[in-house]
Amino acid sequence: MSRTWWKWVIYAGSIAALIVSASFTIYCAWKVYAYHQPGEGAAAEAEKNAFHFVLVPEELDNDYWRLVEQGAKAAAKETGVYLEYAGPRQANIDEHIHILEKAAASKVDGIMTQGLTEKEFTPVINHIVEKNIPVVTIDTDAPTSKRTAYIGTDNYYAGFIAGRALAEDMHGKANVAIITGSFTASNQQLRVQGFKDAVKEEKGIHIVAVEESHITRVQAAEKAYNILKKHPEVNAFYGTSALDAIGIAKVVEQFHREKGTYIIGFDTLPETIRYLQKGTIHATVVQEPYEMGYRAVKMMVDIRKGNNVPSVINTETKVIRKQDLPLRPSRNYEVNHD
């Protein structure tokens, strides 16, 4: 008798586990689908809210963009906005543009995105604005487009202060390799240009190599590896997108060259902070991703209400070193993965 009873308990338990795991799979599948389809399936949610905005990042699961999303979501909650976060899983301009077009076709009330390249993004942004959907550029501007406003770092200035910091910390003498997120994205170009201008009068500073990481830490590491093999004289690196310095630091440690190699990067993601604390990364350029997201949503609400907004808002940027830690407030660098 007691055996039969146990059998039933095991049967019931297995069925319950099956139902839970099936529901979880369906839920996850729905989430992935929803992220990729701006507008679709969101209509009912959007109806409950005053406005429906879409934030389209360069790369969905990039921690830097998760911080922008966190800020945007906080502002959306305060203002009763329905916010969608949809973008390419891995940086890809064609997919990025396709998602923008889909968002526009589903007649949302506002779109926030980067103006990564004037050539590709300006026509799309203009097309969206002509459909009476306002666009706010965020992180990277497309200044000649019809976007209403830009909110984000002054990327040229940010590159310039990185160059000055390196020159100061290396006492005017260094063989530098630059690893940039992308040769074509204008924020990356400006960060490289600003840096070059900042060191051009320094006779002892030589830029030996400039390579591209496609904003991935793996490719940043690969490029750093090849550079150190080919140019052993390199004793300073500058990484211009959020994951570059992390990839560089990994390789510098592999080569046991932490003592003689200076690294300056961008952003304050948790891994960057850890390398700063350890001393492998020496300095990094702070951006305010949370603030960008937060203020972009607030600004979009103002635009929809017919209020005037400034055409450019530059969020704060500065160079920090180990002695400047911990950073406060923490919302610009504490990524929430739930």
Binding site for ligand BGC (CB under 6 A): 58, 62, 64, 139-140, 181, 187, 215, 241-243, 266-267, 287
Give the whole-angstrom CA distance, residue 295 versus residue 72. Answer: 7
Q: Give me the amino acid identity at 199.
A: V
C-alpha distances out from residue 149 to 121, 315, 319, Å: 15, 13, 26
Query: Which CB atom, from 39 or from 87, has the smaller least distance to ligand BGC?
Result: 87
| 175, two tokens | 């063989």
Query: Which CB atom, from 137 or from 287, has the smaller least distance to ligand BGC?
Result: 287
Query: Which CB atom, from 46 or from 292, has the smaller least distance to ligand BGC?
Result: 292
Closest contact distance (angstroms) between CB of 152 and ligand BGC is 8
Query: Which CB atom, from 110 or from 181, has the smaller least distance to ligand BGC?
Result: 181
Give the whole-angstrom CA distance, residue 179 versus residue 166. Answer: 15
Closest contact distance (angstroms) between CB of 266 and ligand BGC is 4
Q: Contact at 8 Å (CB) between 256 and 36?
A: no
Closest contact distance (angstroms) between CB of 71 and ligand BGC is 14
Query: Which CB atom, from 134 or from 152, has the smaller least distance to ligand BGC?
Result: 152
Give the whole-angstrom CA distance, residue 199 versus residue 108. Answer: 45
Q: Contact at 8 Å (CB) between 322 and 279?
A: yes
Closest contact distance (angstroms) between CB of 234 and ligand BGC is 22
| Cα angle, residue 178 at apex, residues 252 and 192 outer, rounded to 5° | 150
Query: Which CB atom, from 179 or from 242, has the smaller least distance to ligand BGC?
Result: 242
Query: Which CB atom, from 242 or from 296, has the smaller least distance to ligand BGC?
Result: 242
Closest contact distance (angstroms) between CB of 250 and ligand BGC is 15
Closest contact distance (angstroms) between CB of 183 and ligand BGC is 14
CA 133 to chain centre: 24
Query: Which residue's CB comes closest to ligand BGC?
Result: 242
| 19, two tokens | 């139902």
- Rounded to the nearest 5 percent, the helix, strand and coil shares of the chain are 50, 15, 35
Q: How many CB atoms lie within 10 A of CB 64?
A: 23
Closest contact distance (angstroms) between CB of 117 and ligand BGC is 12
